[in-house]
Amino acid sequence: MEFHFETKVVGAETKGGEVTVKAETKEGVKTFTGDKVLVSVGRRAVTQGLGLEALNVKIDKGNVIVDDKFQTNVPGLYAIGDLIDGPMLAHKAMEEGIAFAEMLAGQPGHVNYDAIPSVIYIWPEVASVGKTEEQLKEEGREYRVGKFPFVASSRAKSLDENEGMVKILADSKTDRLLGVHIFGPRASDMIAEAVTTIEFVGSAEDIARIVHAHPTLSEAMGEAARAAYFGKAIHI
């Protein structure tokens, strides 16, 4: 898989069952050929046609503005999910709905936006939660990295799915878990352990000392945590 950054697609055409994409780069115009082209340009909130303008509801860059209780600037009018700021994920919207219902019932509803997992359902899968290395570098935060490849996982080998790895980011001083990124089989399920640890302000050591059943894919999480905390995984 090859990535081309700072590359702007300016056109595409099909001929004889082949697709040619023209793009502008720093070096000049480039062309790419293939059987198919997948276009992904992101998503945005659909706020038009809802009558929000007539009510003078505040909108910023297409998103409805709400306070910490999901209320808009119009008293009694609330918004959650894809209409407001944050990742456009079904589970994020659902948790906001639950939190809002709890608030209506007089309970302390809460959503931890630092512990919302993101999953790309390709195969092998990609899943992540928390910070990326790029974000931590921008923040100037010191961190440790622990990695473990699925090629060293006995369960991944037995499934013939040993591509990918688990990467764990932990604070250099406190060992607090800052981010987990998984590329590999069942990453969408494995990320739940990392989400739980971040939610309860856990550390890489916490995951490292959890007994993971053998042989399972989850052992890769434990090994990556050992690499982050102890400096080295055991089975590699």
Read off the pLDDT of residues 55-64 as tens digits, 9 standing for 90 and up: 999 999 889 9
Question: 221 pLDDT exceeds 90?
Answer: yes
* pLDDT 10s digits, 32-42: 999 999 888 78
Cα separation, 214 vs 234, in Å, equals: 14
Question: 90 pLDDT exceeds 90?
Answer: yes
CA nearest to 170, candidates 95, 226, 115, 235: 226
What DSSP character marks residue 74?
A: S
pLDDT-based confidence at residue 139 (cuts at 50, 70, 90): very high
pLDDT at 107: 94
| Average pLDDT of the residues in 14-26 | 94
Do the Cβ atoms of 95 and 170 come closer than 8 Å? no
Catalytic status, residue 214: yes
At residue 155's C-alpha, the angle toward residues 153 and 158, to 5°, is 110
What DSSP character marks residue 56?
A: T
Could you give the C-alpha distances from 93 to 99, 173, 189, 197, in angstroms and in order? 10, 34, 19, 21
Mean pLDDT of the chain: 94
Query: Taking the model in full, what pTM does it have?
Result: 0.83
pLDDT at 47: 86
pLDDT-based confidence at residue 65 (cuts at 50, 70, 90): very high
pLDDT at 113: 93
CA nearest to 184, candidates 157, 210, 197, 166: 166
Cα separation, 122 vs 157, in Å, equals: 19
pLDDT-based confidence at residue 235 (cuts at 50, 70, 90): confident
pLDDT at 84: 95
Instruction: Tell me the percentage of the chain whose pLDDT exceeds 90.
Output: 88
Residue 127 parent element (H or E) = strand 125-130
pLDDT at 49: 85
Work out whether strand 63-64 and strand 118-120 pair parallel, antiparallel, or are unpaired. Answer: unpaired
pLDDT at 48: 84
Cα separation, 92 vs 208, in Å, equals: 28
pLDDT at 55: 93
Do the Cβ atoms of 143 and 136 come closer than 8 Å? yes
| Average pLDDT of the residues in 60-71 | 93
Instruction: Tell me the percentage of the chain whose pLDDT exceeds 70.
Output: 100
Residue of 4, 110, 214, 235 with catalytic role? 214
